[in-house]
């Protein structure tokens, strides 16, 4: 028999048949006096409410869900994007990556042709990465290509809308890291970005934030 978040034994596994509390969802606050170790164990066991993947950080490594709920109350207009992200290939960044001897650097070639692509920043979260059918992941800024930058993770970074209309960028733990204006991001430490900022990731990808056209 299942136990609801309030501690009642329930014969139903969707809603408690004693108090009506939903059986799955956000974890309940830790009662005063409960051991901190127990709270940590409960957090570790938490699954993503979107795709049910076990939690491993602030963002789901499969679908990009934000566990903090920071974007839930953000109201973003759907009629047009205030800002846009323009993707391209940066030769100077590529040469720097190769010179530093990153993983498989010798096998990565700079693309002979890589047209700019524009993505409007809409919604509460805008994920950056490469599409994966196996993981059911389709990032809003899809860098799958062609050409495809092999240094970009499937979920590489996430742009988070803020109540004032600005955006924060966070790297949830990409394999090769992310840079903003030449400075590396710390894992799971969001930083504010705006028009003119250049985001580098992978072997040669650059994303420039610009004022959008409504």
List alpha helices for 100-187, DSSP H.
none
Write the pLDDT tens digit of every residue in 161-210: 999 999 999 999 999 999 999 999 999 999 999 999 999 999 999 999 99
Residue 116 lies inside a defined structural domain of this protein: yes
93 Cβ contact list (under 8 Å, min separation 6): 200, 204, 206
pTM above 0.75, yes or no: no
Binning pLDDT at 50, 70 and 90, where does residue 79 land? Answer: very low
Identify whether residues 99 and 174 lie together within a single domain. yes
CA distance 76 to 82: 10
Residue 64 lies inside a defined structural domain of this protein: no
Residue 53 lies inside a defined structural domain of this protein: no
Identify whether residues 31 and 129 lie together within a single domain. no
Residue 61 lies inside a defined structural domain of this protein: no
Torsion of CA 3, 58, 33, 17, to 10 degrees: -20
Identify whether residues 20 and 119 lie together within a single domain. no
Q: What angle do CA 121, 65, 89 make, to 5 degrees?
A: 45
CA distance 77 to 93: 34
CA distance 45 to 35: 16
Residue 171 lies inside a defined structural domain of this protein: yes
Identify whether residues 102 and 20 lie together within a single domain. no
What are the tokens at 26?
A: 């956000």
Q: Is the CA virtual torsion 55, 56, 60, 61 positive or negative?
A: negative
Question: 21 lies in which domain range?
Answer: 1-46
Q: What is the pLDDT of residue 2?
A: 73
Classify 2 as helix, strand or coil: strand
Q: What is the pLDDT of residue 82?
A: 87
Burial class (CB in 10 A: 0-12, 13-18, 19+), 172: buried
* φ/ψ of residue 43, rounded to 5: -65, -40
CA distance 7 to 204: 52
Write the pLDDT tens digit of every residue in 18-58: 555 666 643 444 344 444 444 444 444 566 665 556 776 66
Largest CA distance in the chain: 65
Q: What is the pLDDT of residue 93?
A: 95
Identify whether residues 15 and 114 lie together within a single domain. no
Residue 66 lies inside a defined structural domain of this protein: no
Residue 60 lies inside a defined structural domain of this protein: no
Residue 29 lies inside a defined structural domain of this protein: yes
Identify whether residues 193 and 131 lie together within a single domain. yes
Residue 150 is given by DSSP the state: T
What are the tokens at 8?
A: 């009642």
CATH number for position 96: 2.60.200.20
Number of domains in the chain: 2
């Amino acid at each position: 028999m299942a136990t609801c978040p309030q501690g009642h034994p329930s014969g139903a596994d969707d809603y408690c048949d004693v108090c009506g509390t939903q059986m799955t969802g956000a974890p309940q606050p830790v009662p005063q006096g409960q051991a901190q170790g127990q709270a940590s164990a409960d957090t570790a066991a938490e699954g993503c409410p979107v795709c049910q993947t076990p939690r491993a950080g602030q963002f789901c490594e499969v679908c990009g869900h934000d566990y903090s709920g920071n974007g839930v109350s953000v109201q973003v207009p759907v009629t047009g994007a205030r800002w846009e992200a323009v993707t391209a290939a940066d030769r100077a960044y590529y040469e720097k990556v190769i010179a530093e001897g990153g993983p498989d650097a010798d096998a990565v070639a700079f693309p002979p042709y890589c047209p700019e692509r524009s993505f409007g920043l809409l919604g509460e979260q805008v994920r950056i990465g490469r599409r994966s059918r196996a993981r059911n992941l389709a990032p809003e800024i899809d860098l799958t290509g062609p050409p495809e930058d092999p240094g970009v993770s499937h979920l590489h970074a996430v742009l988070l809308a803020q109540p004032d209309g600005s955006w924060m960028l966070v790297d949830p733990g990409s394999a090769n890291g992310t840079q903003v204006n030449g400075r590396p991001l710390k894992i799971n430490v969001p930083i504010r970005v705006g028009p003119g900022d250049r985001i580098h990731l992978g072997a040669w990808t650059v994303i420039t934030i610009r004022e959008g056209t409504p």
